[in-house]
Structure 1
Amino acid sequence: MERELAAAHAAVDEAVAVLRAGRDQPHTRTAKAAKDFLTEVDTASEDVLKRALGASTPDIGFYGEEGGGAALDEGRVWVVDPLDGTINYATGSPLCGVMVGLLEDGVPVLGVIDLPFLGTRVDSSGGALSDVSALDEGIVAVGDAFHRGGPRMDAFLDLGSEVHRRALRFRCVGAASVLWSWLVGGQIQGLFLAHNNPYDVVAGHAIARAAGAVVTDYAGAPLTLSSSGAMAAVPGIHAPLIDLAADLAAAAT
């Protein structure tokens, strides 16, 4: 899919320019949900991605975090997160990125992620996992769980505590784009997200799978659009991470 990969890279280039231009500007925060907001940079970046991808690949549908779009379970659809890690971005942290993934009949087939302020770009043409054979040799990261409540959130937080106890190191950075990029770059060996939002998962799923990572739901089943949550790991510690996630898997059903 050389044409599609080139189109994704070109669109990400334009979105990254929007993020860079808005970096030091004051941002208007528009509430989305409890403890969550978007800025004008989110919408400007999504507009750029939609225009660029529509011009280069008019035969492919579009779905964005902020504006929604085409149905995800049939045909070919671009799925984009125009500014992943909005709160990080708005508060001056470099831990944020742009994600563009391509679904084909609901299956991730291509992805590009750029972390503009870390100088990192990864795509589904390959990666460099750093495999380990034991959990205490691996660095494992979790996503934010601010939007969850009840038993599921409790189970997610308990999982984070167990990972912190058992893994070599624990990470939580507030941006799925960073976690996927670090997994395929060898900086971490596993990740758990608190959800399976397509704009946070599709690009990373395609990239991680192409690099040789194991991408599943919390119970170890193949990850699909209907899965209740997403995780990924290097082959050497996927099984023990699934064991640790048993309570979360049960709470998420």
Structure 2
Amino acid sequence: MTDYGDLLPVAHEAVDLARDMMRTLRPGVLTGKGDRDMASEVDFAIERKLRTFLAERTPQIGFLGEEEGTSGAGDELTWSLDPVDGTVNFVHGSPLCAVSLGLIERRRSVLGVIDLPFLGNRYFAALGHGAFADGERIHASRTGELTEALVAVGDFAVGQGAARLNEHRLAITAAFAEQAQRVRMFGSAALDLAWLAHGRLDAFVMLSNKPWDTSAGVIIAAEAGARLADVDGSPHTADSGATIGANEALLPSVLALVQQSAPVR
């Protein structure tokens, strides 16, 4: 069995480069990616830097970046990078943004490193090795009751079809507002999943699943004891349509509320 922990040192080196760039560079010129969506100069600069670095250090592994797509010849293993997860937050000076570097093997996440440059935290995990924050072992929340749960929901959709997509998101938000202890929207899936792993959130619901957003966070959360699923309750993979996480006791209640909140057609 492959020990993915052997690749953690190079992943940390790559994320160190990205962290330092985020902390020292200004967002610069913004490139539109559609209605109210954008990439900053820093997004592109980090992605190009890490693409080159990882190609030199791990030439056998492919690369997928949010901004400029795939490269390399990895048939089974692929690095997956969101250079600035939470670009809108970053552009507005909010510290709630992250570098997210995951490793995917055959559609499943096997390694992840998430850095929160402006909060000073580093989360990481490799399959079978547990999850860590700043070098200390972490565990997901044990909260079993929705009334005691702090729940984070993913961003609302923008662009074409956003009104239809947001029907379900709005319904879910309203349902959790009635039943959960509190609902939060932080604007960074990587941060949400890292905090789910750390027990700072009890549940996370995002009705999308882009590999650069989730590949690092889902393995960190899973290694911390959280369970990740699609809307139908099936185990989360790179092919899932949504990213829903909580501990084993709480997840059934979270899934039920998400499913019951689907708009009637």
Structure 1: gaps (5+ residues) = none
CA contact (8 A) 2:27 2:41 kept: no
1:234, distance to aligned residue in structure 2 (A): 1.6
- Give the Å deviation of 1:103: 0.6
Give the deviation of 1:75 after TM superposition: 0.6
Task: Return the alpha-carbon distance in structure 2 between the equivalents of residues 164 and 87 of structure 1.
Answer: 24
Counterpart position of 1:199: 212
Amino acid in structure 2 at the alignment position of 1:21: T
Secondary structure in 2 aligned to 1:3? helix
The alpha-carbon distance between structure 1 residues 225 and 71, as it changes in their structure 2 partners (threshold 3 A), is: farther
CA distance in 2, matches of 1:112, 1:248: 33
Structure 1 position 55, deviation (Å): 1.9
Runs of 4 or more consecutive aligned structure 1 residues displaced over 3 Å after TM superposition: 70-74, 247-251
Measured against aligned partners, the alpha-carbon deviations of 1:196-242 in whole angstroms (never above 9, x if no partner) come to 11110111111111111010111211112222111111222100000
Deviation per residue, 1:81-102 (Å, 9 max, x gap)? 0000001001100000000000
In structure 1, the partner of 2:32 is: 31
Aligned to 1:105: 106
Q: Aligned residue for 1:129?
A: 140
Superposed counterparts of 1:1-253, under 5 Å: 1-22=4-25, 25=26, 27-70=28-71, 74-124=75-125, 125-126=130-131, 127-147=138-158, 149-247=162-260
The aligned amino acid for 2:254 is L
Tell me the alpha carbon deviations over residues 176-206 of structure 1, each in whole angstroms, 9 at most, x when there is no partner.
1210111111110110113111110111111
Kept in 1, the 8 Å contact 2:62–2:75? The answer is no
What is the aligned residue count?
249
Question: Kindly tell me: are residues 219 and 70 of structure 1, through their superposed partners in 2, closer, same or farther at Cα, counting changes over 3 Å?
Answer: farther
Deviation at 1:53, TM superposition (A): 1.4
Q: 2: CA distance between counterparts of 1:137 and 1:58?
A: 47
Tell me the amino acid that sits aligned with residue 84 of structure 1: D
1:174 to partner: Cα distance? 0.7
Q: Is the 8 A contact 1:72 1:105 kept in 2?
A: no
Q: 1:144 to 1:71 in 2, by over 3 A?
A: farther
Q: Work out the CA distance in 1 between the residues paired with 2:110 and 2:191.
A: 20
CA distance in 1, matches of 2:111, 2:262: 27
Mapped partners of 1:152, 1:174: distance in 2? 17
Verify the 8 A CA contact 2:140 2:224 in the aligned structure 1: yes
Name the structure with the higher helix share: 1
Structure 2 counterpart of 1:246, one-letter code = Q
Q: How big is the shift at 1:27?
A: 2.1
Matches of 2:28 and 2:37, distance apart in 1: 14
2:112 counterpart letter in structure 1: G
Per-residue displacement from partner, 1:108-135 (whole Å, max 9, x unpaired)? 1110100011111111132321211100
CA distance in 2, matches of 1:144, 1:73: 31
Q: Counterpart of 2:134?
A: none
1:55 counterpart SS class: helix
Alignment check: 8 A CA contact 1:141 1:190 kept: yes
Contact 2:61-2:73 at 8 Å conserved across structures? no
The worse-fitting range, judged by mean Cα deviation, of 90-99 and 62-71 is: 62-71
Per the normalisation by structure 2, the TM-score is 0.89
Q: For the Cα contact (< 8 Å) 1:143–1:174, is it kept in 2? A: yes
Kindly state the Cα deviation for residue 74 of structure 1 after the two structures are TM-superposed: 4.8
Q: 1:68 to 1:249 in 2, by over 3 A?
A: farther
For 1:215 and 1:48, locate their aligned partners in 2 and report how far apart those are by CA, in whole Å: 31
Question: Structure 1: which amino acid aligns with 2:200?
Answer: Q
